[in-house]
Homo-oligomer: A and B are copies of this chain.
Amino acid sequence: MNTETKILKDIATLPVFSDLGTKELDGLLSLAQVRNYKKGKTLFRQGEEVTNLYFVIDGWVKVYKGSNSGDEAILQICGDGDILMAPSVFLDIPALASGQLVQDSKVLSLPAAAIRKEVTLNGKLAVNIIHSLSVYSQELIQKIEHSQLMTAAERVGWFLLKLSIQQSQGMQAVIKLPFDKSTIAAYLDMTPETFSRTLKQFKAKGFQIKSGTIVKPMPNALCGFCDEGLALECAAINCTMKTGRKTC
């Protein structure tokens, strides 16, 4: 099996494509294009017509909105398996946000018109898309909640916990920051300065921070930052630690 075929096979396991007929899936994926892009590459720009639905195969893509004054609000940073631009594709409207790689990444593109059409023909695909959009909405809700209810330190702690869960099946102590600190800071709605000072607070609590790597003093050191959204993932890896605030 060549690499291209293997990748398409992996893609077929994504939730959006699950339980589709083989024929329909092959039809869709025959229109798909998989490409590698360099960090910094802009995939699409706010206001432009949306020609593709994108899937991150491997890497990280930030989705953000710029303001007239040059600031930007990062809506999400999509990782492996994430879908980009779904709302714009299905409403057939210009891109609501811009998308730019924050790491070298492998990205799949699917023509917007094709997927719009297929959704009207294939009920199972439509249901899968409803699920994806629902999950996406959940993430946006979480982001609103975080930016309104949590302090900078809480947002950083939550983010580190999320990384920690993603990166280890058993809550190991080492966390690797997947992209620039300034990008993380922007994602967490704070300046790089604030992010840096916040990490210093973690250092004071026993965390070791060296360049892009962070080592927790104890495996459960971040459990105090667990929330509703992460609880499921915590449970999935049999993380039974408790915290003052919540069961993690």
Contacts and interface: CB of A to CB of B under 8 A. Distances in A.
Interface residues of A, number: 42
Given A67-B149, A73-B145, A149-B73, A130 B126 contact: yes
Contact of A130 (B90, B145, B150): B90
Interface stretch (A29-37, A106-114, A131-139, A209-217): A131-139
A127 B137 contact: no
Contacts of A71: 148-149
Given A96-B138, A138-B87, A145-B65, A130 B131 contact: no
B141 A97 contact: yes
Contacts of A228: 96
Contacts of A97: 141
A87 B137 contact: yes
Given A131-B91, A141-B140, A120 B123 contact: yes
A71 B72 CA distance: 27
Nearest to A143: B144
B123 A133 contact: no
A3 interface: no
Interface string A124-167: 00110111011111101101110111100000000000000000
A172 B181 CA distance: 48
Interface of A: 65, 67-68, 71-73, 75, 86-88, 90-91, 96-97, 119-123, 126-127, 129-131, 133-138, 140-141, 143-145, 147-150, 189, 228, 245
Given A87-B134, A144-B144, 5 more contacts: A87-B138, A90-B131, A91-B135, A119-B130, A130-B133
